Amino acid sequence: MNAACEITVLNRNGRAIVFLVGEMDLSAREMIDDALLRAQQGSADVIVDVSKVTYIDSTGINTLLRAHHRAPEGQFHVVGATGAVRRVLDITGLAELLLDESLSLTWQQITYHASGWRQWTTVERTEQGAPVAEISEDGPSATFDGHGARYRLDMEGHSAAYGSLDDAMSAARLFATGGWERGIRRTESHNS
């Protein structure tokens, strides 16, 4: 495996969410292309999270374009592009073609404690009236997981710990975009 790029694939409710971390360049092309092809063969919808990509060159762009052209219309999405990656996609004109920014979550801080602990919820609500997601911040000296994760995301019965508030908020948007909310509603309707 290329040390400059890490790939994780999460399959959820007929969708594959592909998390890319590191550099999308020639040395990682084959590995990324294989992962995207496998994700497309096993899922109706593929979402690629590039929020942790630190570098993308023409090879990385071409890899995303190949995957986009293989997919049926509307079934390949790129989310989380920021910084240099977003600039490259904007400059090449591919941001409009590849990026899916259809869902953005609006956050509101609901508590603040003198100890440094804070909590945020989304303004958006589920069908039951609960926030789509909640984030809790641990105090300045402690962590949720003992490894530096200070922010816990709770969303649709799932929890995950993150090192920064931005990472937790990005994950919430990605998971919501990935259809967790719709998949949970579908599961609830089958259980009724």
Residue 187: predicted pLDDT: 26
How does pLDDT run across 64-75, given as a tens digit for each residue? Answer: 999 999 998 888
Give the residue among 169, 80, 188, 171 at the shortest CA–CA distance from 126.
188
Instruction: Quote the tokens at residue 32.
Output: 């990324």
Residue 27: predicted pLDDT: 94
Instruction: Pick the more confident residue, 114 or 32.
Output: 32
Q: Is domain 5-98 given the CATH code 3.30.540.10 in the classification? A: no
Lowest mean pLDDT among 68-72, 85-89, 92-96, 161-165: 161-165
How many CA within 13 A on the CB side of residue 189?
7
How does pLDDT run across 6-57, given as a tens digit for each residue? Answer: 998 887 667 788 889 899 999 999 999 999 999 999 887 888 888 789 999 9
| Residue 22, phi then psi, degrees to nearest 5 | 110, -135
Residue 73: DSSP 8-state: T
Beginning with the edge strand found earlier in the chain, give each strand of the sheet holding 158-162 in spatial order. Answer: 107-112, 118-122, 134-137, 151-155, 158-162
pTM of the shown model: 0.59
Residue 1: predicted pLDDT: 43
How many other C-beta atoms are found inside a 10 Å radius of the C-beta of residue 29?
A: 18
For the CA atoms of 98, 55, 70, 12, the dihedral, rounded to the nearest 10 degrees, stands at -80
Residue 163: DSSP 8-state: S
Task: Break the chain into its structural domains and give their ranges.
Answer: 5-98, 107-191
Mean pLDDT within 105-120: 75
